[in-house]
Amino acid sequence: MSVTEKEQVRTRFSDLDTQRHTTSRTYEDSCLGDRYRILEEAGYSWKRMIEESVRLQTVGGDIRFLAQQMENTELSIRTSYRSGQDGLLTFSQEVLDPNGKVAAEIKTLARTEKDGKPFQLIAAEATSEELISSFESIPSFSGSCERTLAERDLFYCERNPFGDYNPSHYWRLLEEGRWNFTAECGLSLEDLVAMDTTLFYMGGKIRYRKPLAAGRRAKIQTWIHSFDKIWSRMRQEVSDSETGEILAESMDDLLVVSVSKSRPKKPGEDLLKVFARVTEFPEGGSK
């Protein structure tokens, strides 16, 4: 069965980031709440899930950001879902502005589990393969370029009621990696202005492999996969700094924009030169 509902969310001043608009994490956290609402309507509140050792494990996410939002804005979350075998669920969610226009789209692949094993919380209407195939895989790193590195602590106090980290925490780590990437490449705001260039994060694909471990450090490696006309395809991996295991990976879409004209443009030679050592496929595409 598939259901579409609307949930209301009001943004706050504390949701604003350094770019002076609502963070992507605000959207994801709001959508996560609506995903749990659907499970509750199926008979499993988050409290019952904890009591019976049932979990909603996020497997993948595809994200697109279409319009920036500010504080004190009434947003609507529109959610539809599809259930599959082995406890798999896909959630298609839209964040709508007060005029009903789509500000963001978040598509999530998740699995309900009990004691670590697949648990069919909602009756299946599709095969596992149908749901999984709608989420593209992310290519493995070829090893042909350098990567920037950031390490961040995983704080106990930022876990959810299940003792886990919400997907938005992975988003936070990936954003940290992107900020660190710019810094390690030696690009200041003044440098970008001189190049008449800025990069806008427009979305991407995240694949979640293993849970983050509280009290440990996460390692975030970032590099450019390739350039495609007006787009920069950025790759990232989040791994455990002790074991080296990859915990999540992403392929991000960054739009190259002219600062003076406020319009997309192809990256200039000056930008390509700065990113040369951290670009996997300088000629575009993959091998």
Q: Are residues 188 and 106 in the same domain?
A: no
Q: Are residues 109 and 130 in the same domain?
A: yes
* Residues 128 and 83 sit within 8 Å (Cβ to Cβ): no
Q: Are residues 41 and 114 in the same domain?
A: yes
**Burial of residue 22, with CB atoms counted within 10 A of its CB: 0-12 exposed, 13-18 middle, 19 or more buried:** buried
Q: Are residues 227 and 161 in the same domain?
A: yes
What pLDDT is recorded for position 3?
64
Tokens of 201: 């994060």
Q: Are residues 167 and 275 in the same domain?
A: yes
* Residues 239 and 287 sit within 8 Å (Cβ to Cβ): no
What pLDDT is recorded for position 134?
95
Which residue is associated with the tokens 């609507």? 76
Q: Are residues 127 and 211 in the same domain?
A: no
Measured distance CA(205)–CA(135) in Å, rounded: 9
Q: Inter-axis angle of helices 24-41 and 167-184, to 10 degrees?
A: 160
Measured distance CA(100)–CA(113) in Å, rounded: 35
The last residue of one of the domains, among 135, 161, 186, is: 135
Q: Are residues 90 and 16 in the same domain?
A: yes
CA 134 remoteness from chain centre: 16
pLDDT tens, 112-138? Answer: 999 999 999 999 999 999 999 999 999
* Residues 266 and 230 sit within 8 Å (Cβ to Cβ): yes
Q: Are residues 39 and 124 in the same domain?
A: yes
Residue type, 83: S
Tokens of 87: 């406890």
pLDDT tens, 31-80? Answer: 999 999 999 999 999 999 999 999 999 999 999 999 999 999 999 999 99
Q: Are residues 130 and 212 in the same domain?
A: no
Entry pTM:
0.94
Instruction: Give which of 161, 152, 252 is closest to 212, Cα–Cα.
Output: 152
The last residue of one of the domains, among 135, 157, 173, is: 135
Residue type, 158: E
Q: Are residues 80 and 149 in the same domain?
A: no
Count the neighbouring beta carbons within 10 Å of the beta carbon of residue 199.
19
Q: Are residues 169 and 99 in the same domain?
A: no
How many degrees, rounded to 5, is the angle at CA 133 between CA 26 and CA 50?
Answer: 50
Q: Are residues 112 and 14 in the same domain?
A: yes
What pLDDT is recorded for position 287?
42
Instruction: Give which of 110, 103, 99 is closest to 34, Cα–Cα.
Output: 110
The domain total for the chain is 2
The last residue of one of the domains, among 108, 135, 162, is: 135
- Residue-level pLDDT, tens digit, the chain, 287 residues: 566 667 789 999 999 998 899 999 999 999 999 999 999 999 999 999 999 999 999 999 999 999 999 999 999 999 999 999 999 999 999 999 999 999 999 999 999 999 999 999 999 999 999 999 999 999 999 999 999 999 999 999 999 999 999 999 999 999 999 999 999 999 887 888 899 998 999 999 999 999 999 999 999 999 999 999 999 999 999 999 999 999 999 999 999 999 899 999 999 999 999 999 999 999 765 44
* CATH number of the domain enclosing 222: 3.10.129.10
Residue 230 lies in domain: 141-286
**Burial of residue 247, with CB atoms counted within 10 A of its CB: 0-12 exposed, 13-18 middle, 19 or more buried:** buried
